[in-house]
Amino acid sequence: MLVCTLSRHDRRCCGCPAHTGEVARDVTHVMASTLNPLALPHHLETAVDFVKHPVKLMDALTSYSSEDNAISNSWREIGRLLLHEKADAEAWSGHPQEAKSVAWMEGIDLASIKTIARAFDGTVNDVLMASVSLALTDYLHERGVEDVHDLAWMMPVSLQPIDGSLPDTLGNHFAVVLFSMPLGITDPAALIEEIRQRTTRLKHSAEPMLAFGVQKVIAESPSTVAKGLTDFFSAKTIGQLSNVPGPRAQLKFTGIPVRSVFAFVPTSGDQPLGICVFSYNGSVTVGVSGDSRMIPDTDHISQGVGRHVESLLAAALARKSKGTSA
């Protein structure tokens, strides 16, 4: 689960000379390129693409800001939340039915995931999301879908720091935000870095607080209004994706040690897929639930996540070995 880091100290624009000079050079380059008549068809194509997909325009306008720029990130993420088009991955387009198919993968070594994170300068969450991305890329490619580069998810973000102690008063303090997961990136370093950048911008934005407010409005609204708002936001995403850090030590139930814990997330509206990654006692489990008509083989996704953790570990060890030999 991500942790929102927005505070009053983050409400500033990056104005350092180095960054300002970099933006100026890029703007000069773009202006110069637009004067080239041979490039006009490309510019027209780009303009049409921006009109058809306003989220791309929002990303382009905010890409020059630093990753922890709260103001720029807030515009970027809130714009994405409001303007993102309907989620559709072709392989599972349509309306879900009541019946669900479920599958899970257990026994993924958390220490291995931490090794991958250190090798590629990422976090445990970055590595787990990268494994899910690679598994879904394989799944879609096997079904002939080649042109999907992003999948939008609803993802819980904790509004409080996560530590080992329980608070004085219990209660849920999280918001469900829109996370755009990159697909089709096969290079481990590039994929983990892209996910790190996206989650960093999301954490350093006002979207979690805005989403928390929207959740309160939905909870206190009449059922018709609540359903309309829920369907509006859920239609922009393919499903729910959650990464939950669980107990670090083994638990017992009626005196019997609990070997593993896995969970499944709920879905809303036309969302066909839900994935929950849960860590417990040094291992990770992946629970996948999907519409039984559109995604009858959820085990292919859960097994794919485990398989790609192994491939990322091999890449991490090779990267470490290369660095040591150098």
* Identity of residue 237: T
What pLDDT, on a 0 to 100 scale, did the predictor assign at position 241? 93
Domain count, the chain: 1
What pLDDT, on a 0 to 100 scale, did the predictor assign at position 8? 33
**Which tens digits make up the pLDDT trace of 33-51?**
555 555 555 545 555 554 4
Closest CA to 302 of 270, 325, 276: 276
Provide CB contacts within 8 A for 74, sequence distance 6+: 205, 206, 207
Q: What range does the domain containing 197 cover?
A: 1-326
Torsion of CA 87, 93, 98, 101, to 10 degrees: -100
Q: What pTM does this model have? A: 0.72
Least confident of 194-203, 218-227, 239-248, 274-283: 218-227
CATH number, domain of 213, equals 3.30.559.30
